[in-house]
């Protein structure tokens, strides 16, 4: 048993670096908080309402969040 549900999951794991994905999102959030007018509002919401943390995201959630961020950048 490999610990993967399928060969596809194993192949995706080789292409997906979880640590890099988490760090990318942390860096993006930090830059947003520090460099935009709405950044402090986001920080306030995180502190007031909480945030589960990227380390607690599933791989699929991390991938979806990164895709959404990249799509937003392309739109701007």
Q: Indicate whether 32 belongs to any domain.
A: yes
pLDDT at 75: 82
Global confidence as pTM: 0.74
Q: Indicate whether 1 belongs to any domain.
A: no
- Which residue range forms the structural domain that includes residue 56? 17-75
CB 54 within 8 A of CB 62: yes
User: What integer is the mean pLDDT of 48-74?
Assistant: 93
Total structural domains within the chain? 1
pLDDT at 1: 39
Q: Indicate whether 40 belongs to any domain.
A: yes
- Is pLDDT above 70 for 32? yes
Q: Indicate whether 7 belongs to any domain.
A: no
User: What integer is the mean pLDDT of 24-40?
Assistant: 95
pLDDT at 73: 84
User: What integer is the mean pLDDT of 47-72?
Assistant: 94
């Amino acid at each position: 048993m490999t610990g993967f549900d399928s060969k596809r999951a194993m192949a995706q794991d080789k292409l997906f670096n979880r640590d890099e994905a988490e760090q990318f999102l942390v860096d993006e959030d930090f830059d947003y908080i520090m460099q935009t007018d709405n950044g402090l509002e986001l920080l306030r919401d995180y502190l007031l309402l909480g945030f589960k943390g990227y380390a607690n995201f599933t791989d699929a959630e991390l991938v979806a969040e990164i895709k959404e961020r990249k799509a937003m950048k392309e739109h701007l």
